[in-house]
């Protein structure tokens, strides 16, 4: 009996025999499925019962698809965000550059109007450097002696006096600004014509010796008086912000502001000195007079 059982087991364990047995069972089930409705109903019940197992079997594949899609979407969003940030920086820089160009264009237009309104002998120049110290009282211009600039020439912007040329080279010139402690400018009150002196005083200017018996009021504009050979008359130098009478001194205690944009102007006009203008005028009159 044991020999027959072992023979039966060995017979069934062979792959070919298993294939034959499974094939016979499959054919039998197909025949029963086509002929008997009960078998088809049983198959439907089995399919319903096995649906959760099939759903569980599909979940790893679904999770893999979802994860790969999610990671791909995240990577796409990161790349798009980087692109948008780069584009935003580029556009912001372009807008700032356009604003600066608009300011420079407006500055140039005002200087052209100023040059065409009675200051025809002026030379337009550009401030190209203020050295290593942003508060330095020296600025560098891109014009020099080859352009007719000379030491002592006055320099203005669209608002008023900036300073004076202190050194000249062939292709550039050094400008000493109005606030330098070495600067003294003869001025007069535009409203009354009273003359005085404005001194450079460490990044500002001061009116040290304006007598109390003269009329001075907040809001008065101090302009160059033309009493020296450097500054043509009528250039705005400072504005009186306060003028206080002090009992212990015969002079006003004043606070001044500077109309000129000393630290922000990029384009300036260099004015020849009064003596040079007089010589040029005399030469023009002599040339035009009849012989």
In contact, 230 and 163? CB cutoff 8 Å: no
CA dihedral 162, 163, 167, 172 (to 10 degrees): 10
What is the structure's pLDDT at 172? 93
From the number of C-beta atoms within 10 Å of its C-beta (0-12, 13-18, 19+), residue 50 rates as: exposed
Distance CA 290, CA 199 (A): 47
- For the entire predicted model, the pTM comes to 0.58
Distance CA 175, CA 52 (A): 89
What is the structure's pLDDT at 111? 61
For the chain, what is the HEC assignment? CHHHHHHHHHHHHCHHHHHHHHHHHHHHHHHHHHHCHHHHHHHHHHHHHCHHHHHHHHHHHHHHHHHHHHHHHHHHHHHHHHHHHHHHHHHHHHHHHHHHHHHHHHHHHHHHHHHCCCCCCCEEEEEEECCCCCCCCEEEECCCHHHCCCCCCEEECCCCEEEEEEEECCCCEEEEECCCCCCEEEEEECCCCCEEEEEECCCCEECCCCECCCCCCCCCEEEECCCCCCCCCCCEEEEEEEEEECCCCCEEEEEEECCCCCCCCCEEEEECCHHHHHHHHHHHHHHHCCC
What is the structure's pLDDT at 278? 46
Q: Record the tokens describing residue 247, joined without a space.
A: 């009992």
What is the structure's pLDDT at 17? 76
Distance CA 258, CA 274 (A): 23
**Residue owning tokens 């420079």:** 104
Distance CA 277, CA 274 (A): 5
**Which domains, from first to last, does the chain contain?**
17-50 (no CATH), 123-275 (2.40.10.340)
- The pLDDT profile of the chain, 291 residues, written as one tens digit per residue, is 555 555 455 555 567 777 788 788 777 777 766 666 666 676 676 767 767 777 777 777 777 777 777 777 788 888 888 778 777 766 766 676 666 566 666 666 656 655 554 455 788 888 888 766 666 789 999 999 999 999 999 998 888 899 999 999 999 999 999 999 889 999 999 998 899 999 998 889 999 889 999 999 999 999 998 888 788 888 899 999 999 987 788 999 999 999 998 888 888 888 888 654 444 444 443 344 444
């Amino acid at each position: 009996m044991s020999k027959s059982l072992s023979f039966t087991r060995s017979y069934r364990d062979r792959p070919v025999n298993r294939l034959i047995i499974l094939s016979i069972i499959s054919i039998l089930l197909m025949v029963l499925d086509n002929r008997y409705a009960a078998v088809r109903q049983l198959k439907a019940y089995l399919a319903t019962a096995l649906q959760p197992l099939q759903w569980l079997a599909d979940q790893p594949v679904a999770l893999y698809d979802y994860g790969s899609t999610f990671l791909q979407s995240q990577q796409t969003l990161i790349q798009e965000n980087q692109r948008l940030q780069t584009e935003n920086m580029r556009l912001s820089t372009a807008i700032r550059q356009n604003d600066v160009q608009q300011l420079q264009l407006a500055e140039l237009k005002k200087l052209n109007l100023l040059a065409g309104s009675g200051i025809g002998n002026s030379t337009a120049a550009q401030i190209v450097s203020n050295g290593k110290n942003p508060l330095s009282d020296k600025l560098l211009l891109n014009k020099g002696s080859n352009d007719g600039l000379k030491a002592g020439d006055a320099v203005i912007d669209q608002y008023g006096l900036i300073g004076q040329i202190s050194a000249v080279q062939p292709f550039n010139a050094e400008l000493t600004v109005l606030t330098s402690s070495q600067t003294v400018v003869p001025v007069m009150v535009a409203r009354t014509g009273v003359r005085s002196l404005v001194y450079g005083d460490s990044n500002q200017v001061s009116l040290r010796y304006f007598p109390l018996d003269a009329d001075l009021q907040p809001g008065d504009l101090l302009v160059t008086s033309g009493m020296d050979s450097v500054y043509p008359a009528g250039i705005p130098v400072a504005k009186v912000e306060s003028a206080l009478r002090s009992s212990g001194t015969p002079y006003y205690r004043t606070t001044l502001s500077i109309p000129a944009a000393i630290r922000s102007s990029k384009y300036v006009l260099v004015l020849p000195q009064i003596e040079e203008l007089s010589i040029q005028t005399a030469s023009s009159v002599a040339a035009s007079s009849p012989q």
